[in-house]
Amino acid sequence: MQKTDYGKIANTYNKRYVENYLMNIERELKSLISTNNYKNILEAGCGTGRWINCLNHDDFNIYGLDFSLEMLSIPKQKKHDLNIINANAVEIPFKDNFFDLIFCVNAIHHFPDKKKFVEESKRTLANKGMLAVFGVDPHIDKDWYVYKYFTGVYENDLKRFPSLDQLKILLPQGGFENIKIKSVENISVKRIGQEVFDDPFLEKHGNSQLANLTEDEYQKGIEKIKNQIEKNPQTVFTTSVIFYLVTAKKI
């Protein structure tokens, strides 16, 4: 699997949250924690800390783990008391049965071995602990203009992102039960013509899909968009994405 260079993405990554703060995911996460009174919590693939920063650290212990030092340097700039760890989500450096909740947001598609991540989550979660996976499923939702204009991006996403159906199989096989799936955030944006260039997701290092392209592949996609706008300045560029939450309890 192609490894995304998050060193190049880190500095501009948070632009996406200026564009859309994904408040429903935040609400859902806070509700999961307060309803179940979880005390030891891990975010796997915490990146720039959007989620660990919004949680109240006085009420519980929260740890953020990420592969990329550059991504981890961003939350450090904000708060110095965060428990952040530079590590791989498929080798969680914690003792058995330690966490009540392990969650990841928009990250599982990067983990090189999803089965190993599920196994590691099971090992480090306490009995009845919860694994919560927030993410998109391009196998279902594909109405994103980037897929149309950049060759190979959609096919690559189908390989990288586990589908909801795959998770429904993977989680019970990894020792989890009570699998629940719901949609938590519905993003629907239409940009007309040149407005598309205001989209932070269209920058070369605005997301892993475009960052994984060569400069040449990226420029070809940009040219296709420009040609289309020349042909029809009123072209609609649609981004229609749903974030799902999959929860499972350790047996």
Ligand X SMILES: C[S@@+](CC[C@H](N)C(=O)[O-])C[C@H]1O[C@@H](n2cnc3c(N)ncnc32)[C@H](O)[C@@H]1O
Residues that bind ligand X (CB under 6 A): 6, 45-48, 50, 65-68, 71, 88-90, 105-107, 110-112
> What is the closest distance, in whole angstroms, from the C-beta atom of residue 251 to ligand X in the complex?
24
Q: Name every residue whose Cβ is closer than 8 Å to that of residue 130 and which is 6 or more positions away in sequence.
A: 32, 36, 38, 100, 101, 102, 247, 248, 249, 250
Q: Which is nearer to ligand X, 111 or 149 (CB)?
A: 111
The owner of tokens 């920058």 is: 203
> What is the closest distance, in whole angstroms, from the C-beta atom of residue 51 to ligand X in the complex?
6
Beta strands in 15-119 (DSSP E): 40-44, 61-66, 83-86, 99-105
Q: Which is nearer to ligand X, 92 or 196 (CB)?
A: 92
> What is the closest distance, in whole angstroms, from the C-beta atom of residue 110 to ligand X in the complex?
3
User: Which helix or strand (DSSP H or E) is residue 145 part of?
Assistant: helix 145-149
Question: Distance between CA atoms of 192 and 114, rounded to whole angstroms?
Answer: 38
Nearest residue to ligand X by CB is: 47
> What is the closest distance, in whole angstroms, from the C-beta atom of residue 5 to ligand X in the complex?
9
- For the chain, the farthest-separated pair of C-alpha atoms sits apart, in whole angstroms, at 59
Question: Distance between CA atoms of 1 and 63, rounded to whole angstroms?
Answer: 27
Dihedral, CA atoms, 2, 210, 67, 134, nearest 10 degrees?
Answer: -100
Q: Which is nearer to ligand X, 108 or 229 (CB)?
A: 108
Structure tokens at 163: 């589908």
Question: Distance between CA atoms of 222 and 212, rounded to whole angstroms?
Answer: 15
The owner of tokens 């550059």 is: 70
Q: Which is nearer to ligand X, 176 or 201 (CB)?
A: 201
> What is the closest distance, in whole angstroms, from the C-beta atom of residue 150 to ligand X in the complex?
17
Q: Which is nearer to ligand X, 208 or 229 (CB)?
A: 208
> What is the closest distance, in whole angstroms, from the C-beta atom of residue 71 to ligand X in the complex?
4
Q: Which is nearer to ligand X, 150 or 201 (CB)?
A: 201
